[in-house]
Amino acid sequence: MSEPVAAKVRFTRYEDFRRWTEQQPGYWILVHGAPMPSLSPSRIHQEVVQRLFVSLARVVRQGRRGWVYVAPLDVKLREDTIYQPDLLVVLREHADRLRPTHIEGAPDLVMEVLSPGTAHLDLWEKRYDYAQAGVQEYWIVDPETQHIELYVREGEQFRLHAGARCTGRLQSVRLPDLEVELESLFREL
């Protein structure tokens, strides 16, 4: 979105933002009151998201532990902050956060796959906002460098729990059955 439009339009309530997006092309997120377009991801981005979804679905859905969603789906962290994580998990004990149109509050686990146009947002603003909202585990996946960082929430912020580049495995803290093998994830992209 161009700066002049972004500067003119601000939202402090989710319902107002949602009504506004219905009249806009594409998908939108809300960052501290300012609407931002959600750019179309690359083929490689989508391939990585699909591979991660298969792993998450195997652990979460087949184990009847909760729900797994893929963007675009609004996650209302606050009235003025709405994101659409690439992948998210809501565990059964937090089923009260599921709404017909969105997730109300923090998912248990969020994965963001970096794209050049949104990497700064994923690495800084989103990471801060997810921790403040109560997300317990945050994965940042970079297909370009074949690097993954896994953060766990301590207090009101994230601490780097594990990281790997190109090879190795990462195991989820919230979902111990979830293990991502980097070579398989990034093979033939």
Question: Exposure string (b/e) for 88-106, b if CB count within 10 Å is 16 or more?
Answer: bbbbeebeebeeeebbebb
φ, ψ dihedrals at 29, nearest 5°: -120, 165
Rounded average pLDDT over 155-177: 96
Whether residue 2 is predicted with pLDDT greater than 50 in this model: the reply is no
Q: Quote the pLDDT of residue 21.
A: 94
Rounded average pLDDT over 121-149: 96
Whether residue 6 is predicted with pLDDT greater than 60 in this model: the reply is no
Q: Quote the pLDDT of residue 7.
A: 52
Q: How many CA atoms lie within 13 A of 116 on its CB side?
A: 3
Whether residue 4 is predicted with pLDDT greater than 80 in this model: the reply is no
Rounded average pLDDT over 175-184: 97
Q: Quote the pLDDT of residue 116.
A: 84
Task: Note the pTM of the prediction, 2 decimals.
Answer: 0.93
Model pLDDT for residues 47-82, shown as the tens digit of each residue: 999 999 999 999 998 889 999 999 999 999 999 999
Domain topology for 39-186: tt1808, chain A (3.90.1570)
Q: Quote the pLDDT of residue 158.
A: 97
Cα–Cα distance between 135 and 158 in angstroms, integer? Answer: 9
Q: How far apart are the first and last CA of the chain?
A: 30
Whether residue 178 is predicted with pLDDT greater than 60 in this model: the reply is yes
Helices (H), the chain: 3-8, 14-21, 43-60, 119-120, 126-133, 182-186
